[in-house]
Amino acid sequence: MTPRFMIKYGKESHLQQIVNGKVRFSPSQTYIKIEEAQHNKGQGDLLEGKMKLKIERARLHDPDTDKLIGVLPAGTILVSIQDVNNMPVFCLSQYGNEDIINYVDDSNYKIALTREKLECIETDFLDATHALIILEPEKFVDNMMHIDSHSIFNDEIKYYDYDINPLQMYMYLTTGQTDIQTNTSISMIYENRYRHLLCKDISFSKQQEYRFIVLDELISGAVFYTFPFTSSHLLVPIKELKNPLKISL
């Protein structure tokens, strides 16, 4: 998707900090703890940064000698990748042409989120009261890439059905591509561990999430980074999104 606008949902004072050039990144383990505390799979996700494997039966062999080590019975394996849950993450939602009506030009149109999308936000983000609407997403992404001289990766979340073994997800995690390649030896390496933070179960797809991930720092708690916020924007109560919102720049 090419986003036409982005929205960060939260408390008004927290969103104003972003406008003032202070953006809060959290270690991805934060979202695991949220579901553990709230028992609400929405903003929280026990599978954050993890990979779920369903197997019928697996034979384990020594990689050097090919000797059979053991056999795993049918079941589900949860794979946790080293350091992934200490990588700093910033999340928001992205929206496209289907969320715009009465378009005249880029400075005159209306934002119209469906009731289904709004219900998803209200259910998943219980403490959010306001919406920071970023009207120039390309400029915002460029601003974020200049955070405190850090190495930043940004991309939209890819959603997969975790109740099956989605080959497209494994291809993305190992190669960065989602096309299925046959007769290819694939492996996951430490340097590409951030890709696990760009995959989520399809049950989250209505959030239409976009993420920024800091690649060169590990954290155990929230941190604030400074950046130049230059995008045109609106900061409004979420309830104002229940009716088409006129944009005039």
Average pLDDT of the residues in 84-110: 93
Q: Where are the alpha helices (DSSP H) in 163-232?
A: 167-175
Supply the DSSP symbol for 73. P
Q: How confident is the model at residue 20 (pLDDT cuts 50, 70, 90)?
A: very high
The first and second tokens of residue 90, run together, are 């910033």
Mean of pLDDT over the chain: 88
> What CA dihedral angle connects 147, 152, 156 and 157, to 10 degrees?
-120
Q: How confident is the model at residue 28 (pLDDT cuts 50, 70, 90)?
A: confident
The Cα 160–Cα 90 span in angstroms is 21
Terminus-to-terminus CA distance in the chain, angstroms? 23
**Its pTM surpasses 0.85:** yes
Is the pLDDT at 45 greater than 90, yes or no?
A: no
The Cα 99–Cα 201 span in angstroms is 23
The Cα 24–Cα 235 span in angstroms is 17
Residue 27: name the closest of 83, 86, 104, 78 by CA. Answer: 86
φ and ψ of 209, to 5 deg: -80, 145
Q: How confident is the model at residue 170 (pLDDT cuts 50, 70, 90)?
A: confident
Q: How confident is the model at residue 25 (pLDDT cuts 50, 70, 90)?
A: very high
Average pLDDT of the residues in 188-209: 91
Domain ranges for the chain: 5-241
